[in-house]
Amino acid sequence: MPQIQTTSYNQVIQNLKENYPLDSLNTFGISVSARYFLELNSQEELALLPEILFALGNPKLLVLGGGSNVLLTQDWEGLVLKNAIRGVEKEFENAEEVIFSFGAGEEWHQVVMFTLAEGLSGIENLALIPGSIGAAPMQNIGAYGVEIKDVFHSLTAFDLETEKFVEFDSEACAFGYRESYFKREGKNRFIICSVALRLSKKFIPHVAYGAIKDTLAQKGISVPEKPIQVAEAVIEIRQSKLPDPKVIGNAGSFFKNPEIPLSLYESLKAVYSEIPHYAVANPEMVKVPAGWLIEKAGWKGFRDGEIGVHAKQALVLVNYGKGSGEELWNLALKIQADIFEKFGIEIIPEVNKF
Ligand code: FAD
Ligand code: NAP
């Protein structure tokens, strides 16, 4: 390996691991390893990445945050970079709002709890989503009618092509439904190192989703007065419905909810009168829950050896222990083909396969 004489380079490279197990770094718990593994803790360290990659012979790069939205199907022959940049800074405050910037390696749920402790609202519906804030803009994380784009101010990322740090505003991120520029054109080019959110001092509750309304009603709350009440309801629902990755390997929803033409929905409704649907921006289209389609097709609770479909939530594929990424991917493909055959709807994976 060539010797580059900078102290910080030497400090960083000392932490390089070889043939490193990734089992505990992905929430599916898939047992694969990385040829090289490195944890980066600051922007200064990140700026050294081109030198590091050069020294290693320019291997393929995989950036990981919490590993809660990836399916690893094979050993990674290149470098796995764990983004562990921490920290929080107040960038702006006025009577209505505060802008906080967070290091990309901060845990998303801790960010939510921090903003609630500061008396701010905006991301209470997104409580208990696993992973790092750095990965959150990747798929414009969303739950219960709120998405990160609703509070997003800007982010800073390292551009591997120009080897410079660049700032993105909301428009440049081109957020969509579980989508962004970083999941499409910008894939594999940018490493997000900080994310700034615009949080509100005024609380406007978003409680349109039935589960939130019902859970609040059980507590005798018809209109929540504080964002923490919504966060607590969300936490309760999620804990009762979703498998804990520490207990059963999973990456949350495996597929996105499809948006289908109204005409297709009408023809399906003639056969399945109970098929749920929700309005989307385009009045010619409706959103149908992928979980409903998968359950209706008979996959809920399906198990094949070490892998399967969760018994309480058909949208979640699970690894009971020793399943492989390849097996899970093949199961996903089978489900995808079956849904197309039965309903004429293509469901697209949300999880990032490597
Ligand atoms: P990772 O899985 O580590 O990475 C995801 C992708 O982003 C990969 O392609 C990776 O290369 C890339 N990436 C990671 N960090 C960076 C970075 N700093 N810069 C550039 N690229 C990067 N998602 C939702 O939207 N809503 C939910 O309600 C939700 N619920 C979930 C519930 C459970 C139980 C689980 C397991 C997952 C859930 N998810 C949900 C999915 C997941 O938690 C989110 O997508 C989360 O943002 C992923 O964060 P992460 O740090 O784990 O990303
Ligand atoms: P749910 O309440 O059983 O509803 C099923 C689907 O119908 C949801 O995914 C949601 O779509 C849609 N939906 C329900 N009520 C709606 C409304 N009032 N308006 C518009 N759409 C509505 O869903 P769930 O599986 O328990 O999940 C609850 C929330 O957490 C959802 O927002 C879901 O996306 C999110 N979640 C995401 C993941 C992930 O990994 N991505 C994992 C678990 C939960 P949307 O998905 O578009 O909201």
Pick the catalytic residue from 45, 97, 106, 350. 350
Ligand in closest contact with the CA of 210: 2
Q: Is the pLDDT score of 349 beyond 80? A: yes
Is residue 180 annotated as part of the catalytic site, yes or no?
A: no
Residue 165 CA to ligand 2 centre (angstroms): 35
Mean per-residue pLDDT, 162-169: 98
* Per-residue pLDDT band at 7 (split at 50, 70, 90): low
How does the average pLDDT of the chain come out, rounded? Answer: 96
Mean per-residue pLDDT for 188-199? Answer: 97
CA dihedral 207, 209, 214, 219 (to 10 degrees): -30
Residue 8 pLDDT level (bands cut at 50, 70, 90)? confident
Question: Which alpha helices (H) appear in 25-178, and where do they start and end?
Answer: 43-47, 49-55, 108-117, 170-173
Ligand 2 centroid to residue 256 C-alpha, Å: 10
Ramachandran quadrant class, 2 (left: phi over 0; alpha: psi -120 to 50; beta: rest): beta
% of the chain residues with pLDDT over 90: 96
The response to whether residue 234 sits with its C-beta less than 6 Å from ligand 1 reads no
Which residue's CA is the closest to the ligand 1 atom numbered 47? 136
Q: Is the CB of 79 under 6 A from ligand 1?
A: no
Count other C-beta atoms under 10 Å from residue 89's C-beta.
Answer: 11
Whether the CB of 291 sits within 6 Å of ligand 2: yes
Q: Whose CA is nearest to atom 20 of ligand 1?
A: 191
Ligand 1 center to residue 340 CA distance, Å?
A: 26
Helix, strand, coil % over all residues of the chain, rounded to 5: 30, 30, 40
For 38-67, the pLDDT digits (tens) are: 999 999 999 999 999 999 999 999 999 999
184 is catalytic: no
Q: What is the pTM of this model?
A: 0.96
pLDDT recorded at residue 4: 43
| Least confident segment among 4-13, 66-75, 197-206 | 4-13
pLDDT of 6 above 60: no
Residue 253 annotated among the catalytic residues of the structure: yes
Distance from the CA of 73 to the center of ligand 1, in angstroms?
A: 17
Find out whether the beta carbon of 69 lies less than 6 Å from any atom of ligand 1. Answer: yes
- Scanning the chain, the segments in alpha helix (DSSP H) are 7-13, 43-47, 49-55, 108-117, 170-173, 210-218, 227-241, 262-271, 290-296, 325-343
How many A from CA of 279 to the centre of ligand 2?
A: 13
Task: Write down the catalytic residue from 178, 259, 324, 327.
Answer: 178
